[in-house]
Amino acid sequence: MAVRLSTRDADFEGRFASLIAQTREQKLDVDGVVAGILADVKKRGDAALIEYTNRFDRVTLGAGQLRVTADEIAAATKACQPATLNALRVAAERIRDYHVRQMPSDAQFDDGRGVSLGWRWTSVDSAGLYVPGGTAALFSSVLMNAVPAKVAGVKRLVVCMPMPDGTTHPLMLAACAIAGVDEVYRVGGAQAIAALAYGTATIRPVDKIVGPGNAYVASAKKQVFGTVGIDMVAGPSEVTVVADAANDPAWIAADLLAQAEHDTAAQSVLITDNAAFADRVSAAVDGALKTLPRGEIAAKSWADHGLIVVVDDLNAAASLIDRIAPEHLELAVADPQPLLKAVRHAGAIFIGRYTPEAVGDYIAGPSHVLPTSGSARFSSGLGVFDFLKRTSLINCTVEGLRAIGEDAFRMAEAEALDAHASSIAVRLNLGGPA
């Protein structure tokens, strides 16, 4: 049974703050183990990679078997249901269209004093996408990570995915083909992150690593940051649903369970202004759990981390939402615009009764790779910007340097950086620093 709070409760503030601050995933002390794996792969390359892959994924791979061949990808694609393949293609096209519109423009302007300024955007040359091999075949994540990278102009996109017992869902490989992935490897865990960061004889290193994973993958991404870029360290999935009593309780229950079925550490939050409606949603959740295939996972998530908050005024819920800073936010209310304007912190916002979060997971267009665990306060969902770099452009004419150089010279003098001052002074005959 989910925790239930009311803003009228005397202890609401303390209990709400405690629930929002709680850690939902088991903290494993894996940094030392991961550091050893990273060092081993960095030192021994393919030999270490094969050894760890065979041990953890229960396979027997030899040299030359790490990469998934084009024939294997083609065979997997052929084995998929045509209707599902078409759905993936539709999703990929929608994701592509959304992210094309997100692409920034280069710019250059003259400041009127003889200095031309601007910026240009260029993509990273290569990116590695980690695809987890957990309890579900998340081929949608392949599209949501890979398509924005290709739109950004990444020339080489590499996917690493664990294949326990030597198999994976054919849609995983089909999604790679549809998204335009260049290389696919049957490697997972911290060892895959090591290979992407440092390179081996088989897997050339990349410039940036994106994609979620377990505690070992998360630790590895943190430890290789600096050698390569990373997108974020993702936590358990989460949704906050703001709903009034005009909704069908079964719809809202389905939305809450759509997150709960991801993982036992996922969190589903309902905020409503009607206690009786909260009761109906809670009953609908209990009923749906009886027949949900992943009901055991969802039930534990709902019992351990589910939360129902009853407020006096839904428009006043914005402050609670911003404190949660949810990965996904649904505004299933008659007039969502006031809340939409008031909320500042959310990874993605789903507006209106007919916009379930699940449509964003698959086909709406924006990437479903979003900040979790309150990090929407300071970060954004994955997009083309994660694969782009902005370079500043500065071009001084003689007159331009004369216009701004003396002030720069004085600032360098004040910082006691004489070589800085001299590099300006020699061009302006200022005599150098005193």
Residues labelled catalytic: 327-328
Closest C-alpha to 428, from 111, 118, 114: 114
Beta-carbon neighbour count of residue 380 at 10 Å? 15
> Which residues on neighbouring strands pair with residue 268, listed in sequence order?
239
> Which residues on neighbouring strands pair with residue 354, listed in sequence order?
none
CB 301 within 8 A of CB 273: no
DSSP secondary structure letter of residue 35:
H
CA distance 145 to 130: 9
Q: How far is CA 271 from the centre of its chain?
A: 25
CA distance 289 to 295: 5
CA distance 21 to 73: 43
DSSP string, 215-236: HHHHHHHHHHBTTBEE------
Q: How far is CA 405 from the centre of its chain?
A: 43
Q: Which two tokens stand for residue 242?
A: 């703001």
Closest C-alpha to 133, from 201, 72, 59: 59
Buried b (16+ CB within 10 A) or exposed e, 306-336: bbbbbbeebeebbebbbebbbbbbbbbbeeb
- What's the Cα-to-Cα distance from 279 to each of 302, 363, 371, rounded to whole Å? 15, 32, 30
